[in-house]
Amino acid sequence: MKFAGKLAATAGLAVALFLNAAEDVSAKNFKMAVGDAHGSAQHALGEKFVELFEAKTGGKHTAKMFLNGQLGSEQDTVNEAAIGTLDFSILAINNITPFSPTVGVFTLPYVILSLEDAEKLTQGEIGQELVDNTLRDAGVRIVGWTYTGFRVLTNSKKPIKTLEDLDGVVVRVPKNEIMIDTYKSWGINPTPMAWSETFTALQQKVVDGQDNPYLTVHSMKFYEVQKYVTAIRYIFSIEPLIVSEAVFQDMDEDVQKAVIEAGKEATLHSANHLRESEAAIREDLLAKGMQIDEPADGEKEWIEKATTAVWPKYYDSIGGVDKLNTVLTSLGRDPVKE
């Protein structure tokens, strides 16, 4: 009887091990590309998403972040996710716009004027429409939103307070037509450049400046190669978390649900992270030797030139002037007249 009992126990253990092995085969460690560095708003969103995703799948699934563009440029990650060779990516929304132009409404200069505006747009009906458009156009699904703050202008040459001060300053911008045209409206030709090349270009003086939110300037250590900050507020940086639709459709229904829920909760976390950290990071940049100036005259000239020259040029690509007016009126602002 003792032998029979031991045999039964051994058989039971073998069955348990077999079942566990079967479960391990179905478990997955997803890859997540992250454009920015450790300590960035993108990193904070990704970290919270992974934590929530693991919890919601009972620890069965997880995701590993690859920071600092290790998996390629942000636009490259959209292509890779579209064909299913990359699972997740967190990237600046301007790098999705070439694939899904209607998303460009969020990158038009001076449309989003606060974090609250960004939350209302991304988490409401307008945001859902852009999620649907991106899925249709690019084959990727937006499941979360990173709120990183206004893109301030930094440079290594001189203080910039007026548009005239931009003269002679070479500014790097993403390969995004709306942002390129915004700088052209201000009187200079910017230099389009991949994000992964930017720090080195600043360090080697290939370009003098760039624009990004305080959180990104801090996490990327731009204070090591930049001295001056101009606190312009032309674009509020929104950085979506995307998942490959091919990968998403291959997931079990409960895993899909975990992805959606974790993305929504991580989005709320991102907004709180910005509220709690931006002021302290700004002070730390000052302590590290950066000089922060406000644009002269309340940024009026910057706003007038950008909205007058840039907005009409992109009405068609974003879905028409009515689409922009829907956004503006939803934020309690006056619609534009053609």
Q: Has residue 13 got a pLDDT over 80? A: no
Does some domain include residue 333?
no
Q: What is the mean pLDDT of the chain?
A: 93
**Distance, CA of 156 to CA of 225 (rounded, Å):** 7
Q: Is residue 233 part of a domain?
A: yes
The pLDDT score that the predictor gives to residue 1 is: 45
List the one residue out of 203, 213, 189, 188 whose CA is nearest residue 270. 213
Residue 32 within a domain:
yes
Q: How far apart are CA 194 and CA 173, in angstroms?
A: 8
Ranking 16-25, 56-65, 275-284 by mean pLDDT, the lowest is: 16-25
Domain, as residue range, for 77: 8-320
pLDDT in tens, 232-278: 999 999 999 999 999 999 999 999 999 999 999 999 999 999 999 99
Task: Please write the tens of the pLDDT for every residue from 172-216.
Answer: 999 999 999 999 999 999 999 999 899 999 999 999 999 999 999
Residue 319: pLDDT band by 50, 70, 90 thresholds? Answer: very high
pLDDT surpassing 90 at residue 163: yes
pLDDT in tens, 297-310: 999 999 999 999 99
Whether 137 maps to a domain, the answer reads yes
Convert 122-167 into a string of H (helix), E (strand) and C (coil): HHCHHHHHHHHHHHHHHCEEEEEEEEEEECEEEECCCCCCCCHHHC
- Is residue 219 within 8 A of residue 212, CB to CB? The reply is no
28 within some domain: yes
Q: Does 17 score more than 70 pLDDT?
A: no
**pTM of the model as a whole:** 0.89
Distances (CA, A) of 264 to 32, 90, 167, 215, 258: 17, 14, 43, 21, 10
Give the domain CATH number at 268: 3.40.190.170
In a domain, 142, yes or no: yes
Strand order in the sheet with 228-230: 191-192, 171-173, 209-212, 152-155, 228-230, 291-293
In terms of pLDDT, which residue wins out, 11 or 281? Answer: 281
pLDDT at 3 over 60: no
**13-27, 95-109, 148-162, 304-318: segment of lowest average pLDDT:** 13-27
Residue 15 lies in a domain: yes
- Residue 336 neighbours by CB under 8 Å, 6+ apart: 311, 321, 324, 325, 328
- Average pLDDT estimate for 120-147: 97
- pLDDT of the residue at 12: 54
What is the per-residue pLDDT for 304?
A: 98
337, part of any domain? no
Q: Quick one: pLDDT at residue 7? A: 46
Task: Let me know: does 219 contact 37? Beta carbons within 8 Å.
Answer: yes
Please check the confidence at residue 26 and state whether its pLDDT lies above 60. Answer: yes
Number of domains in the chain: 1
Residues in the chain: 338
Flag whether pLDDT at 65 surpasses 60: yes
Confidence of residue 338 (pLDDT cuts 50, 70, 90): confident
Residue 27: the pLDDT is 86
Write out the chain in H/E/C secondary structure: CHHHHHHHHHHHHHHHHHHHHHHHHHCCEEEEEECCCCCCHHHHHHHHHHHHHHHHCCCCCEEEEECCCCCCCHHHHHHHHHCCCCCEEECCHHHCCCCCHHHHHHCCCCCCCCHHHHHHHHHCHHHHHHHHHHHHHHCEEEEEEEEEEECEEEECCCCCCCCHHHCCCCEEECCCHHHHHHHHHCCCCCEECCHHHHHHHHHCCCCCEEEECHHHHHHCCHHHCCCEEECCCCCEEEEEEEEEHHHHHCCCHHHHHHHHHHHHHHHHHHHHHHHHHHHHHHHHHHHCCCEEECCHHHHHHHHHHHHHHHCHHHHHHHCCHHHHHHHHHHCCCCCCCC
Averaged pLDDT for residues 114-137: 97
Which structure tokens are listed for 328?
Answer: 């503006």
Check pLDDT > 70 for residue 154. Answer: yes
Closest CA to 142 of 239, 45, 55: 239
Place of tokens 């253990």: 13
